[in-house]
Every structure is written in structure tokens, then in C-alpha cells.
């Protein structure tokens, strides 16, 4: 009688590269939208809302200067993966660590100050950058789904 061995690999949520591209794009888009909505709410009604204009400008600048390069690197990395690679590999360990650091920074910022116009403006700027840079992932996913 053969003994069955428990293999962790069987529990791995392996997916195709198209799913990785979709998930990466969806994460950037949904997190960007969530940050924009939260930031907008913290800006408060009235005169504080004019801060959305510089926030959007800063976010787009960050997109062009920093995030686009990171998004393109992420897309290239995903395309080089083999189909069946774990869904968690959608981002590298370094990127996941950066995500954790950014989340911790957001929590710390909210703990040290009352979320208001300044924190709201920062959130809108970061959200706009993520949302705008997600276009590279969506374009790659669309091309992948429609390649011959």
C-alpha cells in the first residue's frame, strides 16, 4: 500500500498569466479608487475641495515619474511567469513589502493626525497616481486576451 504524501503545492492557487495581469490591474485600480473616495471625504465640504486639483496634478505627476515604471516592470515580470504560477506571485516579494510599508504609513499617518484636508489631499494624490498608472496593466491584459 502506497502512502499518500501531503503536498503543499496542491493547495497553491495557480493561475494563468492573463489572470495575473487582470488581478494586478484590478488591485491598482480598486485601491486607487478607494484612496480617492476616502481622501475626498476627508477633504470636507466647501472650500477644502479645491485641493483636489493639486492632488490630481501631483498624482498624475507621480504616475509619470515613478509609478508607470513600476507598473511596466510588474507587467513584464508577469508576462515572464509560467501559467499555473501562484496567484500571490502577481507582485514580487519586494513589491508586497512595499505595499505593507505603504499600508503601515497610512495607518500611522491617520493615527498621528486627524484625517482632514492634508491627509485627504495626500490620499487623493496617491489614488490618482495608482489609478492613472493602472492603464499599463489594463492595456497589457487587453492585448494578452486578444493576441493571436
Q: Region 6-25: what's the mean pLDDT?
A: 80
Q: Grade residue 115 by pLDDT with cuts at 50, 70 and 90.
A: confident
**Tens digits of residue pLDDT in 22-41:** 999 999 999 999 999 999 99
Asked if pLDDT for residue 59 goes beyond 80, the answer is yes
Closest CA to 28 of 95, 79, 93, 85: 95
**pTM metric for this prediction:** 0.83
When the pLDDT of each residue in the chain is averaged and rounded to a whole number, the result is 87
**Tens digits of residue pLDDT in 68-102:** 999 999 999 999 988 888 888 888 888 888 888 98
* Residue 134 dihedral angles phi and psi, to the nearest 5°: -65, -15
Amino acid at each position: 500500500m502506497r502512502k499518500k504524501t501531503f503536498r503543499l503545492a496542491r493547495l497553491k492557487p495557480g493561475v494563468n498569466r492573463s489572470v495575473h495581469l487582470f488581478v494586478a490591474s484590478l488591485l491598482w485600480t480598486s485601491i486607487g479608487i478607494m484612496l480617492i473616495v476616502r481622501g475626498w471625504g476627508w477633504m470636507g465640504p466647501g472650500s477644502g475641495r479645491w485641493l483636489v486639483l493639486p492632488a490630481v496634478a501631483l498624482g498624475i505627476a507621480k504616475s509619470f515619474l515613478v509609478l508607470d515604471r513600476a507598473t511596466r516592470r510588474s507587467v513584464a515580470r508577469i508576462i515572464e511567469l509560467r501559467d499555473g504560477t501562484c496567484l500571490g506571485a502577481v507582485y514580487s516579494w519586494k513589491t508586497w513589502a512595499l505595499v505593507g510599508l505603504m499600508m503601515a504609513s497610512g495607518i500611522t499617518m491617520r493615527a498621528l493626525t486627524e484625517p482632514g484636508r492634508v491627509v485627504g489631499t495626500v490620499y487623493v494624490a496617491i489614488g490618482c497616481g495608482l489609478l492613472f498608472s493602472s492603464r499599463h496593466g489594463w492595456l497589457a491584459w487587453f492585448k494578452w486576451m486578444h493576441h493571436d
